[in-house]
Structure 1
């Protein structure tokens, strides 16, 4: 009787420990092979002023004391619309988009 009880306890301990080990082995790949996050992009350094240059020929469009971001639109004195496509240090390069006709916006 004592041997049967010891055997049952021993079997219970073995089953419990094997279940515990299998559960840890099941969760182990989640910790070892976790998905790596993309590194955050380096924030743009902020300058006191920006030169906005034409991307095609490099001539200066304007000088602004504002923070410039990619996607900003610029309207020059000649009513030409440009979009900022690249920023290097305090130089922003803009691509010509279209001519703007302001006559159609004037009140008659």
Structure 2
């Protein structure tokens, strides 16, 4: 009978140790190395209009009365798709992506 009680006590201690150890393994990375947020970007000053400029040629594609953001796509009047890659003050520089064949969308 004593050995059953000792075996049961040993099993209980092992289970309790496993639970405590698994909890420590799960939560330890958060206490040792907490997750880091991305650094905040400086707020962009809002202008009345933005000039969209072709990055390669430096020509002005258009003026827009909206706030431009990096990653925005712009379709020019000659059906060329551009993506804004950087913004300096009220000048948004766009990189050519591809020509758009608008004829296939007409019915």
Q: Same fold (TM over 0.5)?
A: yes
What CA distance in whole angstroms lies between the structure 2 residues aligned with 1:37 and 1:101? 42
RMSD: 2.0
Task: Give the equivalent residue in structure 2 for 1:91.
Answer: 91
Between structure 1 and structure 2, the one with the greater Rg is: 1
How far the C-alpha of 1:41 sits from its partner, in A, is: 1.5
TM-score, with length taken from structure 1: 0.63
What CA distance in whole angstroms lies between the structure 2 residues aligned with 1:80 and 1:38? 34
**Mapping for residues 1-108 of structure 1, pairs under 5 Å:** 39-107=39-107
TM-score, with length taken from structure 2: 0.64
- CA 1:80–1:38 in structure 2 vs 1: closer, same or farther (change >3 Å)? closer
Task: Give the equivalent residue in structure 1 for 2:25.
Answer: none
- CA 1:100–1:36 in structure 2 vs 1: closer, same or farther (change >3 Å)? closer
How many pairs are equivalent? 76
Kindly report structure 1 stretches of 4+ aligned residues shifted beyond 4 Å. Answer: 34-39
How far the C-alpha of 1:35 sits from its partner, in A, is: 8.3
